Amino acid sequence: MSNSGKIYGIGVGPGDSDLLTVRAVRTLEKADVVFAASSTKNEYSHSLEIASEFIRDNCEVVKLGYPMTRDKSVLKEAWEENCRIAVKHLEGGKNAAFLTLGDPLIYSTFGYMMQTMRRIYPEVEFEVIPGITSYQAAAARSQQVLVESGQNLLLTSGVADPEKFADSLESVDNAVILKAYRNFPELRDTVNKMDKMDVKFYTRLGLEGEAIYPDINEVPDKTTYLSLMLLTARK
């Protein structure tokens, strides 16, 4: 493929549009095409909603649908098909912005996109613009120090194997649990049994319906996709 443009992976932050970096905004304002990941079920994109005010009126917006499944063969097919769609929009030297919540390289759709693209279209050039993460925003909102002095910090996912998850928490001072909506009752039980950290639960930071729970036992069993937990060592 000749005369291809570049793809900019842009982290749009956790929810507040004013948490986009200056570089992210400047890149969006110049983009010829904007890619936004969405579910194949409803085509809605949180990242597109957050960044919409910075996208030019005449900029082409392309929603790339990804199935909400853990079937590796289905996901692989979706990654490759979306890469083919993206490449077509880069023809003629057009530059594209790929929007992603938080940071592009932390539990991000963009990470899979970039790795797949490099495998089947190695000539495509990428640039990554980091974004503010949800756990940074959560810590700032509650003025919670994430890590200090000789402490360590674990970054993990609520979809991790429960046994592995519990083992990981045993050896750390502080932890961030993203995707805390998945298996939340089990996560809550594990954390309560350990009884060695202070825990806060956050959902939909910077968006309508935002909630912060200092007591995880008050969190409903079913919570939203945009949820996380901060676990910090007791003083």
Where do the structural domains in the chain lie, given as residue ranges? 6-129, 134-233
pTM: 0.89
pLDDT at 3: 66
pLDDT at 193: 86
Q: How many Å apart are CA 148 and CA 174, to the nearest integer?
A: 10
CATH 3.40.1010.10 fits 6-129, yes or no: yes
pLDDT at 121: 94
Instruction: Among 3.30.950.10, 3.40.630.10, 3.20.20.70, 3.40.250.10, name the CATH number for the domain at 134-233.
Output: 3.30.950.10
Q: How many Å apart are CA 38 and CA 101, to the nearest integer?
A: 11
What residues contact 33, with CB distance under 8 A and at least 6 apart?
59, 60, 61, 62, 89, 90, 94, 95, 96, 97
Q: Would you write out the chain's pLDDT as a tens digit for each of its 235 residues?
A: 556 789 999 999 999 999 999 999 999 999 999 999 877 666 778 899 999 999 999 999 999 988 777 778 888 888 999 999 999 999 888 999 999 999 999 999 899 999 999 999 999 999 999 999 999 999 999 999 999 999 999 999 988 777 788 888 888 999 999 999 888 998 898 888 887 889 999 999 888 899 999 999 999 999 988 999 999 988 7
Q: Is-contact 221 211, C-beta < 8 A? A: no
- Render 145-190 in DSSP notation, one character per residue: ----TT--EEEEETTS-HHHHHHHHHT-SEEEEESTTTTHHHHHHH
